[in-house]
Structure 1
């Protein structure tokens, strides 16, 4: 085991969101309802038990949780009704960063996959008509390290299990929290991140956002059942959302931080390039609720 972690960043902020949802409906206009962060200090090689961020968020578009969402997340309606809206909670998060002296370029955000930043966060800021924050434009996708470790161990990924369940089994790290509770998920993912670092792996930002990717310019046939199929919905949403996630190799935080890696503008929102996937919208049997709600297409 190395005496120092192989990581450029002083702290890794393990982040997880929970959002509003409905069963078998991936066209649902999801709003963030729980915003949680755990801290892994890479210099002291510890998970900070004394510092964390955990706030519930009151949705505006669909303020009443669906029965499915309440059961899935364990979040009750009273908790949501008494929470602050996302812009207020995001401001609290920025104040929390400042309070604990977490400085940009000296920390990186860690997520279990691309969904939290590419889909949930990007969509939330579109709903709020706010610029997408620089600190959310790049992140460590933990699932890419997990898959790398699987390959090295010559193991096949399990099926019919959540990513967290599969990570728990592979790394032999018990997941003691409640499924789909953002704070519990963060706590578990922090342990996985530490295990990966303890194994001597170099951990760096490995995913980012940009306005244009080659795959977005290639028309495809929309699955008629895309709303109820996760993989098909991701393909549709990748065409609809202004910024697309992509794999970063050899990320240099001094050069790449906060920039769109297509147009290299730090202010790029993707909307400036007037991408409008007509070929997708023309195939939909009915307008996408996800797109219409965020103003990405006309009804």
Structure 2
């Protein structure tokens, strides 16, 4: 264990979103219904038990949760009905960051995978017809650290399908609470992040969003059953969404923060698609609700 954490940020904000969903249908337009963050201070090497952000969010497109979503997340309809909409909750979060003096470039978000930023946050702001905020353009993908630790340990992954189950088994850290409750998952992921830091690993930005990526120039054959397959749907969404998530091997906050690491242009906001996937839409057997709802398809 090192005397100081190997991390260029003063604070790591562990973030998790929960979103609307429908069983066996990945073409469902996800709207964020829970927005949670807890804090790991890297200078004091502590998880801030006294400081967190946790809000339910009222969806607009599908205001009534499906039975599947309610059971999966443990969120009841009454809590959703009383909640503010996403723009209001995001403004509350921005005020929370300012209230607690979180300085841009001095903190980084930590997520268990790319899904929270690349899919949920990007899609939510497309629904709102707003550019993706600078703070959501880069993050620490904790799943990458788990995969590397697994490789170093030379053991097989046998702990379960989700990253939460995998990391719980590998790091021997018990998950407490309700699976797919954003705040409970944040609390768990904070413990895993601290373990990774305690083990002497450098924890920094390892994924970011950019407008153009080489693989998106190569057309592929759409799986006819993509709507019911998580893996196949993600491949489709990689082409549909304006910004693509990419691994970031070297990250310098002063130079890279909030910028598209392809074009570095301030007008690259994620609202316009610079690699429009016409071949994807031509192959679909029926229109994509995911794409149509967010205005991703051209008229």
TM over 0.5: yes
Provide the secondary structure at the position in 1 that maps to 2:34.
Answer: strand
> For the Cα contact (< 8 Å) 1:58–1:85, is it kept in 2?
yes
TM-score, normalised to structure 1, is 0.98
SS at match of 1:97: helix
Q: Residue 78 of structure 2 corresponds to which residue in structure 1? A: 78
- Per mean C-alpha deviation after superposition, the further-off stretch among 151-160 and 28-37 is 151-160
Report the count of equivalent residues: 299
Q: Output the TM-score relative to the length of structure 2.
A: 0.98
Per-residue deviation, 1:273? 5.1
8 A contact 2:126–2:271 mirrored in 1: no
Q: Which runs of 5+ in 1 are unaligned?
A: none
* CA RMSD after TM alignment: 1.1
Q: How does 1:1-299 map to 2 (within 5 A)?
A: 1-158=1-158, 160-272=160-272, 274-298=274-298
Post-superposition offset of 1:265: 1.6
Whether the 8 Å contact between 2:160 and 2:166 is mirrored in structure 1 is: no
Residue-by-residue CA offset, 1:84-129 (whole Å, 9 max, x unaligned): 0000000000000000000100000000000000000000000001
- The C-alpha deviation readout for 1:17-47, integer Å capped at 9, x for no partner, is 0000000111100000000000000000000
1:34 aligned counterpart, secondary structure: strand
Q: Deviations over 1:222-242 (max 9, x none)?
A: 000000000000000000000
Cα distance in structure 1, aligned partners of 2:288 and 2:150 = 37
- C-alpha contact 2:134 2:258 (8 A) present in aligned 1: yes
Mapped to 2, the partners of 1:228 and 1:205 lie a distance apart of 32
Any stretches of 5+ residues in structure 2 without a counterpart? none
Q: Is the 8 A contact 2:212 2:274 kept in 1?
A: no
Contact preservation (8 Å) 1:113, 1:142: yes
